[in-house]
Structure 1
Amino acid sequence: MSILEQRKDRYLRAPRFQPGSETPILEVIAWENDRERILAFHLAEDGSPIREEPLTELLPSISGYSSEPGTPGVGALAELEARHGGSRAFIEQRHGESCIYLERDGETHLVQRAPAMFAAPAVFETPDGAYVAFHHDLREDRGVRDIAKWIAIRFVDRSGNVFEPSAPMLELDRDREGVEQSFEFPALVVGADGAVALFGRGSHNFYRQDWSADGFGPRLPLSDGEWGSRGRRVAAAVFGDRLFIARRDRKGIVIDVQEAPRGGAPALRKAATELGPPPPIPTWERERDPASARGLRTFFGDIQQHSAHSDGVGSAEEAYLRARDIYGDDFVALTDHESFLGKRTGPGEWEYLKDVADRFNAPGQFATLIAYEWTGRAYPGPGHKCVYFPRRDFPIVSRDEVPEGRQLVQAIRARGGIASPHHIGWTGCDEDGHDSIGQPVWEICSCHGCYEHPNHPLGQRGEHHHQLVDAMLAKGHRFGFTASSDSHGLLYHHGEARKRDPYRTGLTAILAKELTREAIFDALKSRSCYATSGAKIRLDFTGDGHPMGSEFESKGVPVRFLGRAVGERALRAVQLIGPQAKVLAEGEVSGDEGSLDVSIWAPYAYLRVIQEDGEMAWASPIFTTSPERRPGD
């Protein structure tokens, strides 16, 4: 094993073996001095580097490769196609379904259409046809979509007939819990006698699985399985009788040399290419929207989650497809760690992630935010914060350059963006770095639990009770509420989440006049938003006519707080919450509706809604000031 180690002045990513080369030449994208270029490493028989040479000049950014040696590729669709020889596999992602095709000799063949998310195609051409692989979220046993993804392999012969393995794939387990889940981002190599080596990525490991005339062998791990931010794909190619393998692991580009696959061509059977129409996209009764009384609309979305671009699973596209087509959400943000556990996000990858977000942004129909996670030291350090920008033309402010929370918030505020801390009882809220303008909202619920107050019925990860919402509001800090999944794509978030589906453990609701990226951002900035535990509970909340998130002077007299809620299911309670998370007043509930109308003075108050099934929602607080009253009065 050899390793091209990461350095402070050079970060390497995206290894691939140079197309068409008869000797092992490994291409990588190198980030140096805030610019990027493609380097080539000539390898010895044991995989060790003999020499390196630049293939391009230093460029502002390189998103990926083209099919030509040493040539940058561009565009948000680059990772939806693969080429080998004269064959090209490509994926089309539509509303609720995906298609994968093989293009060869001027003809295009459908490999499969299904009500699923397809991603990360791979192709390997043979004299008789081509093997095509991809990962997807459709369960093999029940034909329904699920959280975990797995690799599928097909063979398309020269006549366009599509075949699948006749032997079962060993270790296929979409219900596996724990840190290591899923099997994604395939790479294919076919040996001299027709046997196939399949490579893929789990949540925290890479694997090789051979497929021959004897069927599938076991998945053999290539890495240590420790939690980390690895690359997405394994690069693999046969030179002579040796199989060269490269991957970006936590400490650099790791190169292994192994035996090529052998054991004869695998047995095949005819495969179905059409797997049925997509199911309807979930909807909710938008006409029963309490915010409509103020001329506003309620929109729901998950504004923190991770993909394989950091320490999660799945492609960038999947975050948007899942939100739009599976959950029927209105907006979403992908917030991959920009620097964390061996990963750094250079300018090319940042441009790519923004390109994908822009591709799915459809004003009036579906909104995507430009965002990332800044990952500071855990408490007593500044903790973790997500950063949101109103537009795409902003560079990342990295924790490697700005390691303190106050500096980050000031830098983001100066650029017109906002920051937001999360899982505050676990890694801290960064009280010293708080700024009600640069950091107007805090995430209070996610797969890690709810951080409203200690010993919460929804549970919470961490024991820093003095960092929680009730403690910080009582100290006079002002912020609105959001909630997100913070999902990394793992069932039960490897045992930390209260739900099997980690993507439904937190949602942010936005009150705005229109569904656009700008309107969602402005609502977050003005605290015209609220948090839910994952259910689409609708609510509105005002104090003397001032909307949630407002600050105003009450002149020492009681404030009339009005709240209205419509649940997904029957409601248990509608409550007005004040200092120390005390219930100041109870509203009335009937079925799935509830209301509250009470006059009381408090330095701040917020509406909490509880369904009979335990799901909750929390309106952003309304803050009042009074020269005649003190918070303890």
Structure 2
Amino acid sequence: MTTDYQNFFGDLHNHNHVGYALGSLDRSFEIARNHLDFYAFTPHSYWPDIVDYDGKITHKWKNGFHIARARWPEVVQLAKDFDSPGEFVTILGYERHGTEEGDYHILFPDLQGDYELIEDLAELQAFARQRGCLMIPHHPANRLGHRGFDATKLASDVSPVLEIHSEWGCAEHDRAPFPYKRHTEGGRWTKHTLQYYLNQGYRLGVVASTDDHLGHPGGYREGLAAIKAKELTRDALFDGLRNRRTYAVSGDRIDLDFFLNDQIMGQEL
């Protein structure tokens, strides 16, 4: 069976020195344009229930949030400058940490440049619904209370996909390759892996993205999102994400087509 969808590869979750990571903002856009189809720079922006681990680390995080807010107009302008539908698509977004509910990166369907740091998760989901945003949970396999994904709070209409692979490791199942080692909050928790969620009846698409903290989007083996879309535009990419026409790759860009009873991946039978 054939369709008129194409497979596009990009990074929906990446960091640089605008926030509390490293690497040039400008250079990250250049790197992404040189080897990806789409790119979302997602600065660390806020943490409603931040834990005071120790003074120096907490200060680093909070200072990074101030930097992200101050330089957001620059981020918006670069996204507009680099956006070239049909060749390379930029997506605006930012990250919300959550000790109890897990981390999300929020992606916007346009380049207007909203910067709404809504603390309550349900209110943020309502905002995303109204604005047409997507919220992607990432590193889900951390434990609850340690920035792991709380699936009981899932709003599938704004969070249709789950980031299951990044430089953190792979959350497909608890014995998958790439165990949680980098940035770890204690290793993979079986009840927060994709296979467990599917067995519990959750209907989730999957993506990967680097979560790289060195300003290098699309780093090899750190993860890429694959989206099936009819054209390389922001609207078409968001349509693919909403309808779960997505998959995750950890290294090589594998072209994948999957059908069951003439239905493409992401559909319900």
**1:424 aligned residue:** 140
User: For 1:311, what is the secondary structure of its paired residue?
Assistant: coil
Letter in 2 for 1:356: L
Cα distance in 2, alignment partners of residues 512 and 502 from structure 1:
23
Q: Which amino acid aligns with 1:444?
A: I
Which residue of the partner structure matches residue 43 of structure 2?
Answer: 336
> Is the CA contact 2:223–2:250 (under 8 Å) kept in the aligned structure 1?
yes
Q: Counterparts of 1:360 and 1:415 in 2: how far apart (Å)?
A: 23
Q: 2:157 aligns with which of 437, 446, 464?
A: 437
Deviations 1:43-64 (A, max 9, x none): xxxxxxxxxxxxxxxxxxxxxx
| Counterpart contact for 1:447–1:487, Cα < 8 Å | yes
One-letter amino acid of the structure 2 residue matched with residue 388 of structure 1: L
> What is aligned with 1:481?
206
Name the CA distance, whole Å, in 1 between partners of 2:92 and 2:222. Answer: 22
Is 1:390 the counterpart of 2:109? The answer is yes
Deviation at 1:394, TM superposition (A): 5.1
Q: Report the AA paired with residue 115 of structure 2.
A: I
Distance of 2:31 and 2:89 partners within structure 1? 13
Paired residue total: 244
Distance 1:448 1:323 in 2: 20
Q: In the alignment, is residue 512 of structure 1 matched against residue 229 of structure 2?
A: yes
User: Contact (CA 8 Å) 1:487, 1:503: kept in 2 or not?
Assistant: no
Q: Secondary structure at the match of 1:313?
A: coil
The match for 2:87 is 365
Instruction: Give the aligned residue type for 1:339.
Output: Y
SS at match of 1:310: coil
Distance 2:219 2:31 in 1: 12
AA of the residue aligned to 1:414: Q
**Deviation digits for residues 552-580 of structure 1 (CA, Å, limit 9, x no counterpart):** 3xxxxxxxxxxxxxxxxxxxxxxxxxxxx
CA contact (8 A) 1:483 1:532 kept: yes
Secondary structure in structure 1 of the residue aligned to 2:26: helix
For 1:407 and 1:539, the matched residues in 2 are separated by 36
1:547 aligns to 2:248 (yes or no):
no
**Is 1:490–1:502's contact at 8 Å kept on the other side of the alignment?**
no
Correspondence 1:65-144 to 2 at 5 A? none
| Letter aligned with residue 90 of structure 2 | T
Following superposition, the deviation at residue 548 of structure 1 comes to: 0.7
Match of 1:298 in 2: 7
Separation in structure 2 between the aligned mates of residue 317 and residue 525 of structure 1, nearest angstrom: 29
Counterpart of 1:535 (choices 252, 263, 269) is 252
Paired letter, 2:253: K
Which amino acid counterpart does residue 31 of structure 2 have in structure 1? R
Q: Measure, in 1, the Cα distance between the counterparts of 2:28 and 2:235.
A: 20
1:67-122 CA distances to partner (integer Å, 9 max, x unpaired)?
xxxxxxxxxxxxxxxxxxxxxxxxxxxxxxxxxxxxxxxxxxxxxxxxxxxxxxxx
Cα offset, 1:509, TM superposition:
0.8
Aligned equivalents of 1:521 and 1:429: distance in 2?
22
**Contact 2:28–2:215 at 8 Å: present in 1 too?**
no
Look up the equivalent residue of 2:85 and give its one-letter code. Answer: P
Asked if the contact 1:510/1:524 (under 8 Å) is kept, the reply is yes
Q: Please give the per-residue CA displacement for 1:219-244, whole angstroms capped at 9, x wherever unaligned.
A: xxxxxxxxxxxxxxxxxxxxxxxxxx
Shift of 1:502: 4.7
AA in 2 matched with 1:331: F
Q: Is the 8 A contact 2:94 2:105 kept in 1?
A: yes
Rounded to whole Å, the distance in 1 between the matches of 2:220 and 2:74 is: 23
- 1:306 and 1:503 map into 2 onto residues whose CA distance is 15
Give the equivalent residue in structure 1 for 2:17: 308
Q: Return closer, same or farther for 1:408/1:347 CA change in 2, 3 Å cut-off.
A: same
SS in 2 for 1:362: coil
- Alpha-carbon distance between aligned partners in 2 of 1:503 and 1:388, rounded to the nearest angstrom: 23
Q: Tell me, what secondary structure is at the counterpart of 1:539?
A: coil
Shift of 1:338: 1.0
Contact 1:507–1:535, Cα closer than 8 Å, also in 2: no
Is contact 2:106-2:135 (8 Å) kept?
yes
Deviations 1:259-288 (A, max 9, x none): xxxxxxxxxxxxxxxxxxxxxxxxxxxxxx
**Aligned equivalents of 2:208, 2:69: Cα separation in 1:** 29
2:129 is matched with 413
Structure 2: runs of 5+ lacking an equivalent: 48-60, 182-186
1:350 counterpart = 2:72? yes
Cα root mean square deviation, aligned: 2.1
SS of corresponding position for 1:322: helix
Deviation of residue 517 (structure 1)? 1.8
Query: In the alignment, which residue of structure 2 is the partner of 1:317?
Result: 26
The alpha-carbon deviation at position 490 of structure 1 amounts to 8.2
- What is the identity, as a one-letter code, of the residue corresponding to 2:265? M
> What corresponds to 2:57 in structure 1?
none
- Shift in Å at residue 349 of structure 1? 2.6
Which one has a larger percent strand, Structure 1 or Structure 2? Answer: 1
Could you tell me whether the CA contact under 8 Å between 1:306 and 1:313 is conserved in 2? yes
Amino acid at match of 2:139: H
- Between the aligned partners of 1:406 and 1:467, the Cα distance in structure 2 is 20
Which of 76, 88, 97 is the aligned partner of 1:375? 97
TM-score, with structure 2 as normaliser: 0.84
Structure 2: distance between partners of 1:442 and 1:482? 6
- Please say which structure displays the higher CA radius of gyration: 1
Supply the distance in 1 between the matched residues of 2:77 and 2:220 (Cα, whole angstroms): 23
Q: Does the C-alpha gap of structure 1 residues 347 and 502 become closer, same or farther in structure 2, counting only changes over 3 Å? A: closer
CA distance in 1, matches of 2:139, 2:69: 28
- The secondary structure found in structure 2 opposite 1:410 is helix
1:432–1:408 distance in 2 versus 1, CA, 3 Å: farther
Higher helix share goes to which structure? 2
Q: Normalized against structure 1, the TM-score is what? A: 0.37
Higher relative contact order (CA 8 A, sep 6+): 2
Q: Please, which runs of 5 or more residues in structure 1 have no aligned partner?
A: 1-290, 492-500, 553-633
Deviations 1:489-524 (A, max 9, x none): 189xxxxxxxxx955410111111111122112211
**Stretches of 4+ moved more than 6 A in 1?**
none
- 2:53 counterpart residue number: none
Distance 1:504 1:386 in 2: 20
Secondary structure at 1:535's aligned position in 2?
A: coil
